[in-house]
Amino acid sequence: MLKRWCRKFPGLPRQVAEARDFVAALLGDEGSAPVDDALLIVSELATNAVRHTRSGRYGGWFLVAVGFGDDVVRIEVFDAGGDKEPLLRSINSDVEEGGRGLLLIAACAKNWGVQDRPYGRCVWAELARVNA
Ligand SMILES: Nc1ncnc2c1ncn2[C@@H]1O[C@H](COP(=O)(O)OP(=O)(O)OP(=O)(O)O)[C@@H](O)[C@H]1O
Ligand SMILES: [Mg+2]
């Protein structure tokens, strides 16, 4: 990555909007990244962190990083871990509500994945830069 910015947010549902604004401002300054897809990704990942991990507990936090490479923009959300695991639901399992967030990310990202961290996980997605 040529440069990478990160910011830590309180693990509260309304902080997801703050995380979106953080990413939107960075991409706006950069002028060459797919903003809609990036905002969808950060919204889904930050929501997952707050909803599905210890990030959403009292005093919890999540961290958002945005990296700019020659060809990609990489968005990472670090959470505080827990019992659940990020799992792609099957496209056919429309019995249950939800389970769409990671599917949407898998559909719009060039690449995505999960990394274990000592304190939790990093879920990341990369988008191809436009006009790169
Ligand atoms: N950061 C995470 N840490 C642990 N488990 C996760 C994390 N993100 C997602 N999961 C698990 O993976 C499942 C699928 O996530 P996904 O975002 O696709 O669906 P959802 O959050 O359940 O519903 P939706 O995003 O449609 O509101 C979740 O239900 C949850 O069990
Ligand atoms: Mg989700």
* pLDDT tens sequence for the chain (132 residues): 889 999 999 999 999 999 999 999 999 867 666 899 999 999 999 999 999 999 999 999 999 999 999 899 999 999 999 999 999 887 666 566 678 999 999 999 999 999 999 999 999 999 998 764
Which domains, ranges and CATH numbers included, belong to the chain?
3-128 (3.30.565.10)
Q: Nearest residue CA, atom 7 of ligand 1?
A: 86
Q: What is the 3-state secondary structure (H, E, C) of the chain?
A: CCEEEEEEEECCCCHHHHHHHHHHHHHHHHCCCCHHHHHHHHHHHHHHHHHHCHHHCCCCEEEEEEEECCCEEEEEEECCCCCCCCCCCCCCCCCCCCCCHHHHHHHHCCEEEEEEECCEEEEEEEEECCCC
Cα 62 to ligand 1 centroid, rounded to whole Å: 15
Per-residue pLDDT, 32: 65
- Residue 87 C-alpha to ligand 1 middle, in angstroms? 7
Pocket lining for ligand 1, CB < 6 angstroms = 44, 48-49, 52-53, 79, 84-87, 89, 98-103, 121, 123
Q: Which ligand is nearest to the CA of 116?
A: 1
